[in-house]
Every structure is written in structure tokens, then in C-alpha cells.
Amino acid sequence: MIFKKKPIVAFPPKDFYRLDHKMYVATDCIILGYDSNNLKLLLFQRNLEPFKGEWSLIGTFVHLDESLEEASERVLEQTTGLTNIFMEQTFTYGGLKRDPGYRCVSIVRYALIRLDEHDTKLAKEYHAKWFSLDELPNMILDHQQMINDALEILREKAKKQSIGFELLPKKFTLPQFRRLYESIYQKEIDPRNFRKKVLSLDILTKLEEKDKSNSKKGAFLYTFNALKYGKNFASKAGLDF
Amino acid sequence: MIFKKKPIVAFPPKDFYRLDHKMYVATDCIILGYDSNNLKLLLFQRNLEPFKGEWSLIGTFVHLDESLEEASERVLEQTTGLTNIFMEQTFTYGGLKRDPGYRCVSIVRYALIRLDEHDTKLAKEYHAKWFSLDELPNMILDHQQMINDALEILREKAKKQSIGFELLPKKFTLPQFRRLYESIYQKEIDPRNFRKKVLSLDILTKLEEKDKSNSKKGAFLYTFNALKYGKNFASKAGLDF
DNA sequence: GCAAAAGTGTTAATCTTACACCCATGT
DNA sequence: ACATGGGTGTAAGATTAACACTTTTGC
């Protein structure tokens, strides 16, 4: 066993390329979407042992001929039909007993998708269901932990990066945008302060149209200005509330 | 190949536990210490092929009977003699071609150590050398990228968490503390503003002693107050400059 | 006595927070 | 006409940024 009892001066040690160190490498995918003023998560009900019938993130083994990114993008496309989606790595989970019976390391990435664009037929085929974050079912293994960690990273990201671009539909209202942030931070945000801060970032284009699905008066629709977006973020204060 | 051509409705797919997906899992260790007003990194010169003579982070394969954390702590102890050190995972690198000839995924963790406490004999045995961040040599594979990513995460952490506790000697001066932050952020920090902010966190104990190694007048030594430290961080503003 | 680093306070600017009323519309 | 959510402005408080001089001491 290398390095185990006393220092081995050789670097790398002689048994560096031992075959019996190989293990399973998986990737699990945290698919987040925003709908009805709630941040939602796509979970899958397993229809095979082990853990048949229980809820789980969807994952896959990483193939020898694909990168980690390709593996998780493959999962995302197979379950939502979407490609070219923002995804970001969170952590890698490799506890000795995280999976019973065999040793498996899992790299987690989360994806932010526009719910109105994904293929709902695929979700059905996979026995998948969207859950609000506050009513998640029990999940197998360490999947709840993976989700908690990812949400923490997402909250940090949301402070600096807007997030709305990835999660909101192309056209959206400011109240909608605000409720997205409320559901990410799990707290109320003053509407006036939110407006002020978002508009001061100068990343939105106001449209003529109104969306009246949420009120009689209707709220003006906006789009992200792709040019200003990105440019105007590094410098400014961000969206911390 | 699973999920490759068209969706497979079964979840998990039938070939979920195929053996030929196994691969090498390694961990690479970014060992950071602070000395002479510089943040430094411990690198190793390989004395075996491949890449003999080139500089590299130190890593190891993760054994089947140890967790990811245990593996990187094993490396850290073997090369510095230190245990119970702060370490944090950054990212996992799993590109198809990151290592020539065989497929290997590597989980990176960084460690913050007190340079005055580590075992320098071990470092010599391992052909290791401390480098200032601004004079790093060329490194093998994607190790430079790993370091860049880790430093970015470290900077974020430093804004909220002080970092000094892990990197400074038990007794230290405020100018020393400030220069640590200057070397992390790679910019000058106003001494008056730094003092004000650090002292307002109320995590330090001022000692009677002075350290005169850096000036004739001498600077008062401080220690971290372990009780207040930790408690006083969540609430307050942190150390962003 | 002088060079070199340590120590100390104030002010202006910016950002954050809290807060209350009118508007437009569908029913 | 009224209920509902959309839209707007201001003032107090907190935080950050900029800035210059005195102190101590080894040489």
C-alpha cells in the first residue's frame, strides 16, 4: 500500500499505476427549474433494484471515452431534451460507504433550465417529477446532502451573477424575477429595493407588452440584454439582499 | 453504451453496473503556507517517468478502502508531517486527455498550513520545494489550472473566514496578517482600514510582547481567540477589501 | 539624527435598509 | 366600487474608501 506506513521517498511511488485502485466514477445531476414562483428540482423514481421505488437524482457512470462534462450533459439531454445549458460542478462525493456493496465516487453538477423549454415527455418516460425545494421526498444515499451543498453554491452564485438569465423564460416580469430570488434565498425581498438594484445593473430591456397572468393591472415584460449582461456584472455590486 | 443513442426508459438502465466503466481515481493536494510575506505552494519534482524531472502537485491514487478525504490527508501527512489540518475540496478534473495513456479522474483539495510547524525533512525527501505564487515553474498536466481554481476559491473564502488562523503562526502581528491578505488578494490594503476591520471582528487577543524582526519599533503580537473566532464570523461583515 | 516600519482618526461617498402610498384593471 | 398585485421615492444608518502625520527604536 503506498504511503501507508512510512514515507516512500520515490515520487511517484513504484506502485503508482496499480490496477486494483480502479473504481466506479459516476456523475449525478441536480436539475433545477423555476415555475409558479418556486424553485423546483427534477427527481427520478428508480424502477430497478437497488432502491427500487425510491427517489433519486439522476446519474450515470462516466464512460471511459467521455469527459465528466459530457457525461452529465448526456444525462441532462436524455431527461430534458436540452443541450447547451448552464451547468456547474459542485463537489465530488467519495465516502467509503456511500453506496452499499461497491465503491463509487460521484461528481455532482447542477443545471439551471428554463422550465418552459424542456421536453416533458422525456420526464414522464423516466418516472421523473418536479419537486418544490420545501417538499422534497426522502432520497437514496447522500443525495439530500448533494442538493443542500448545491443550493448553497447556487445562492453564492446568485449574489454575483443574476441566475435569472438561465432560469426565467425569455420574457419575464420584475415581480417574477424577484420571486425567483426570494425562492433562492428563502426570504422576502422588498420590491422597491429589488427593482432599484436590478434596474441599476442595466442588463434588462423593457418591452411594451404586459403580462396579465398574475394581476389585473399587468406587469411589464423584460428581456435580458445579452450584450449588457455579462459585461455589466463584474464591476457592479451584484444581487445580494 | 448507456443513454448514448436514444433514451432508455428503464431507470437505472440495465447495464448500470458494467465493470468496464471503472477508472483510476486520484487526489491532488494543493499545499499552501505563508512565509516572508508571501503565500507559498509546495511542489514536487518527479523522479520517475512519466514526466521525470518536471514539477507537479503531489497526489496519490485513492485506495479502495479509504475515503477521498483520507487519501488527501494521507498525502499531506506524508509530505509535511501534519495532521488535523484545514483542507477543502475544490474541483474534480476528468478530461479525457488530461493524463496520457490512461483515464484518470482527480479530485483536488487544498490545505492551509502553518509553515513553521511542518516537517522540512520530509519535504526534502520528496524533492519538494516551496514556491511563491508569482514564480511558479511549469507544471505537468492541468496542475496550473488546478492551482488557479483553488486560489480563486481561497480568495472567496478569505472574504468571509479570516484564513489567518490556519496560515499564520500562533503569535503574529497585524502587519503580518495584513500582508497575508495582500498576498492573497494580490493588491495593497490600507493599513488603517485593515486594522479597523480586523479589530472590529473581535477575534484577536493582544499580547504584551512585540515582534521586532521586521522593524526597529516592533509590532505587537496577537493570537486568535479561539472562542470568539468562529462565533464572531457568521454575523459580521468579513474581510473583504 | 535619521531611516524604517508601526500606530492612530476623520471625512466623504456609497450602499443598504426600512418604509407607505397611488395606479391600473378585471370582476 | 373594490380587491389585487404593480409601480414609485426618500431618509437614516451602515459600510467602505481615501487620506497624513506622529511614534519608537536600532543603527
pLDDT along chain A (241 residues), means of 10: 40 53 91 91 89 92 92 95 96 85 91 92 89 93 95 92 90 96 94 94 92 93 83 65 77
Looking at per-residue pLDDT, the higher value among B111 and A239 belongs to: B111
State the pLDDT at residue B6: 39
Are A25 and B25 in contact (CB < 8 Å)?
yes
Say which residue, B51 or A77, is predicted with more confidence: A77
pLDDT of residue A22: 85
B115-to-A79, A212, B108, B168 alpha-carbon distances in Å: 49, 63, 21, 8
Residues B114/B115/B118/B121 CA torsion (nearest 10 deg): 170
Span B170-179, mean pLDDT?
Answer: 96
Of B3, B47, B68, the CB nearest to A11: B47
Specify the range with the lowest mean pLDDT, choosing from A213-217, B11-15, B160-164, B166-170: B11-15
Looking at residue A6, its pLDDT comes to 39
Looking at the partner chain, which of B12, B47, B91 has a beta carbon nearest the beta carbon of A48?
B12
Please pick, among B49, B54, B66, B125, the residue that the annotation labels catalytic. Answer: B125
Tell me what pLDDT residue B239 has.
Answer: 82
DSSP, res A14: T
Looking at residue B93, what is its pLDDT?
97
Contact A19, A26 (CB under 8 A): no
Whether B35 has a pLDDT exceeding 50, the answer reads: yes
* CA atom of A24 to C1′ atom of D15, Å: 50
pLDDT of residue A80: 95
CA dist., res. A211 & res. A222, Å (int): 10
Task: Compute the mean pLDDT over every residue in chain B, rounded to the nearest whole number.
Answer: 87
For residue B109, the chain A residues in CB contact (below 8 A) are none
The rounded percent of chain B whose pLDDT value lies above 90 is 63
Q: Provide the positions of strand C that have an atom within 7 A of a protein CB.
A: 3-10, 15-20, 23-26
B115: three-class secondary structure by DSSP:
helix
A4 touches strand D (CB under 7 A): no
CA of B60 to C1' of D3 (A): 67
pTM above 0.85, yes or no: yes
Q: Which residues contact B162 (CB under 8 A, 6 or more apart)?
A: B201, B203, B224, B229, B233, B239
pLDDT > 80? residue B180: yes
Torsion of CA B2, B8, B13, B14, to 10 degrees: -90
* Nearest-CA distance A211 → chain B (Å): 36
> Position of cell 430534458?
A80
